[in-house]
């Protein structure tokens, strides 16, 4: 039993390991699509009052677990699940260059239509089946999954957090890239929220801080999705010589051919006029 438990733990750890994207692998992708979703039970979570006794006097007769429960309910009303996970997709795509394969990304509206979830999400919901995207001639998928998000606190300063993973894989099989992410304002020492103020206006205070973290994830994902690669010239276009190399000089004229004499000074056009 212990051996099985150890193997399961190692497998779980390996599944979350970081995997860099190789330029050669990206060259294999022709028509990618982006997916993003939030796991059931991922949040929003409040890990504020039970883990930080700084607020004990302000809670008065309310115990910490109940306070966290109420704050989580406030957060849920103040943020939209679709906007949260879709910000990862849109933010990453916005930061990618307009070159293949990113210039061929399938439109988000078409992806959503496949799953019937453009603006309405079912809760709880199963993971979207990536194979359904074959209907759109997709050959690779970039997927963002949020495992947990919400608020935490330390020493009387609360902040947002989000955890999950992003990966890219071919629909025919094979993972090309994986990036686990965990961004936490408490850990970053940038937490500055008052949970009581957040409870009054979670739609602005919490959402803004969470969006800032999601943008950090998008920025890193876009950076990793641009590996060094050999440029692929457009069809019919001639490839320029590598930097530092000279183009092949024209062959010398055949023996016996006479070169035209250089123009005389009197034959040149006056300065400022076109030939």
Express each pLDDT in 51-88 by its tens digit: 999 999 999 889 999 999 999 999 998 888 888 999 99
Sequence-ordered list of residues with C-beta below 8 angstroms from that of 65, at least 6 positions apart, any chain: 49, 50
Is 0.95 topped by the overall pTM? no
* Radius of gyration of the CA atoms of the chain, in A: 28
d(CA 150, CA 159): 8
In the chain, % of residues over pLDDT 90: 63
Extract the tokens encoding 103: 């210039």
Examine the pLDDT at 136 and tell me if it is beyond 80.
yes
Q: What does the pLDDT look like over 33-47, one tens digit per residue? A: 999 999 989 999 999
């Amino acid at each position: 039993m212990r051996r099985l438990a150890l193997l399961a733990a190692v497998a779980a750890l390996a599944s979350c390991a970081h995997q860099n994207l190789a330029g050669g692998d990206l060259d294999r992708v022709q028509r990618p699509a982006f997916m993003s979703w939030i796991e059931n039970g991922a949040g929003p979570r409040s890990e504020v009052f039970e883990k930080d006794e700084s607020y004990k006097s302000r809670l008065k007769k309310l115990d910490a677990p109940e306070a966290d429960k109420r704050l989580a309910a406030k957060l849920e009303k103040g943020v939209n699940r679709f906007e949260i996970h879709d910000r990862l997709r849109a933010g990453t795509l916005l930061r990618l260059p307009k070159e293949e394969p990113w210039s061929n990304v399938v439109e988000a509206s078409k992806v959503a239509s496949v799953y019937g979830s453009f603006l309405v999400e079912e809760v709880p919901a199963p993971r979207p089946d990536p194979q359904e995207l074959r209907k759109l001639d997709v050959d690779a998928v970039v997927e963002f999954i949020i495992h947990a998000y919400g608020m935490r606190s330390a020493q009387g300063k609360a902040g947002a957090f989000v955890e999950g993973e992003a990966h890219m894989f071919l629909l025919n099989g094979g993972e090309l890239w994986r990036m686990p992410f965990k961004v936490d304002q408490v850990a970053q020492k940038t937490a500055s929220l008052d949970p009581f103020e957040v409870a009054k206006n979670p739609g602005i205070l919490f959402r803004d801080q969470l969006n800032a973290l999601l943008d950090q994830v998008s920025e890193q994902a876009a950076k990793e999705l641009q590996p060094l690669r050999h440029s692929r010239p457009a069809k019919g276009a001639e490839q320029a010589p590598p930097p530092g190399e000279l183009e092949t000089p024209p062959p010398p004229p055949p023996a016996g051919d006479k070169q035209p004499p250089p123009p005389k000074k009197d034959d040149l056009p006056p300065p400022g006029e076109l030939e």
